[in-house]
Amino acid sequence: MVRRPRRKLYESDSAGKAAREMGLLESIEGPGDLERLTLDECEQLAAEIRAELIADVSKTGGHLGPNLGVVELTTAIHRTFSSPRDTILFDVGHQAYVHKMVTGRSGDFGTLRQLGGLSGYPARAESPHDVIENSHASTSLSWADGIAKAYQISGESDRSVVAVIGDGALTGGMAWEALNNIAADGSATHRRLVIIVNDNGRSYAPTVGGFAQHLDMLRTSAGYEKLLQWGKSALQRGGAPGRFAYDALHGFKKGVKDMVAPQGMFEDLGLKYIGPVDGHDQDMLERALAQAKGYAGPVIVHAMTQKGRGYAPAMADEADQFHSVGVINPETGLPMSPSGARSWTKEFGDELVRLAEGRDDLVAVTAAMMLPVGLQKFASKFPGRVFDVGIAEQHAVTSAAGLAFGGMHPVVCLYSTFLNRAFDQLLMDVALHRAGVTFVLDRSGVTGPDGASHHGMWDLALLQAVPHAHVAAPRDSTRLREELGEAVTIDDAPSVVRFSRGSVGPDVEASVRLDDGVDVLARGGSDVLIVSVGALADRALEVQARLADEGIGATVIDPRWVLPVPASVIELAARHSLVAVLEDGVRSGGVGARVRHDLRDAGLRQGVAELGLPAEFLPQGTREEILKFAGLDVETLTKRILSEVSDLRG
């Protein structure tokens, strides 16, 4: 076995602690190896895991804060349950790094989120210990319910299902649908289903909503905290009296809690409840989990954890406690290569504030993504006009329809991938009712290292099916400001502005703007009309130059608004032999398919090359790596267009 290098422990105390020799972590090849450790060794292992997380994630980027907070919880789960025979689910999957480490993958963390490397979420191809690959939140309880039912039907009553759900994920409606069914199902008493609420008070930022307030009351009840401390102290004295004191604490907890803390809504639903438990006390956690494991029915364990625990820069970050980081200096937590370039998100956030200064009816809505979608400046300036609904995209969209009915113009800000979750509401609550709602989709197209579930590649195809929808795809920051301003003037239909992840490139100026807003970026002949969607404009121009070298004349246009297809796009297409549509969405039902459809409706038979993404789940990697993987690099695009031209010429 290769000896790991020394790692420094980045402690939360100001003085810090001396570096320790790594030792235990490198000996953990699977969950079974955890069982031989003493509690003192578990404490040492936790320190080594945190040091390794900081050292590795600081180089690759990733979800650092959430995983620093679940070290003891994860090791306690694997010491109590027997994965993979017992099924362990993580919701959201970004808190599964420690799980990966103790299931034999600690040596691979240098490849985290890299092309061909370790996924930033559970991945079935990596390990039989991984089950849910979807990184969208609030799904674990439905998965757990279904798996537990299957084990019951098949007679495998000795198998447990453990769902680790962050308190932020419990703001999602799907989680409550699952809880309602789990609690109401009388036959569930024979299923071994353990729901662990990882309660750190945060999703990306502090968790919002009534449920979060309820958990906060349970966390902060002074009387209940004293009661827990008494149980812990008794336990630490050791021997049977200590164990009895702890067990007795949970045995009569319900009656005492009625006096010193709010009645737990979980127990009101008929679900057995254990907690709150200190999520960083290995002994307490293991005793609570053992008690839950022994209960033949659904049980909830409420574990209180600290996001970013053990890392001073994360603990000092009040905004998101290093929820997700890029490449950072492990000593300071600061970015290693601060960029002077402005991001799409920042450009949007600044422009929305400018627009709102002149329009009192503009309001913003988001789903637990205030910081990631760039609304912090808007929230600071207009606190009464921004609504964070938690991880509840369906509610966000229908609430926006209500805001529009009430005379407001809501701007719903989501990652593109999360619009998938609210398609019905977009279709039936916004479009059907002709509500003036603007959707701003951040991280559209290929996003990079977060992998298949985070690529924003489905939006263009989904939106094609929405009647009356208007969709804009800005190519640069100037067009982003223009198109956002145009979008919020549409008051009788949904409007959508989608943009990429990362930094905005230089402006790509047009040679002329046509009457319907289509920009002609370059003229070069009538062989090919290249229709460039969004941030692909720069490579569209490169493709044009390469085609010219091959004697093929091409004109490059940017429709700006890709849905509905502007009339001038069809008019220009009629003057060219081939139309090549470059888009970073799936080509099945995408913009290229819509252009082909509109050409046929106009009685035209021009060839159309639909140059988009394949309808498959794309891997993780940098944006450039994935675009090349999908055939959207300049060289491949040029070859494909040359082949299409050759076929047309016979």
Q: What is the 3-state secondary structure (H, E, C) of 527-589?
A: CEEEEECHHHHHHHHHHHHHHHHCCCCEEEEECCEEECCCHHHHHHHCCCCEEEEEEEEECCC
Whose tokens are 């061909």? That residue is 116
Using DSSP bridges, classify how beta strands 554-558 and 519-522 pair: parallel, antiparallel or unpaired.
Answer: antiparallel
- DSSP H or E run through 219: helix 210-220
Binding residues for Mg(2+): 167, 200
Active-site residue numbers?
Answer: 307, 393, 421
Q: What is the CA radius of gyration of the chain?
A: 27
CB under 8 Å to 239, separation ≥6 — which residues?
none
Instruction: Order the strands of the 409-415 sheet from edge to edge.
Output: 386-388, 362-366, 409-415, 438-442, 495-498, 470-472, 561-563
What are the φ and ψ backbone dihedral angles of 529, each rounded to 5 degrees? -105, 115
Distance, in Å, from the CA atom of 106 to the CA atom of 74, rounded to the nearest integer, reads 14
Report residue 202 as tokens.
Answer: 């945060």
Show the tokens assigned to 155. Answer: 């007679």
Q: What is 104-137 written as a DSSP string?
A: IIGGGGGGTTSTTS--SS--TTT-TT-------S
Alpha-helical (H) ranges within 294-343 are 312-316
Whether the CA torsion 485, 486, 490, 496 is positive or negative: it is: negative
DSSP code per residue over 359-400: -TTEEEEESS-TTTTT-HHHHHH-GGGEEE--S-HHHHHHHH
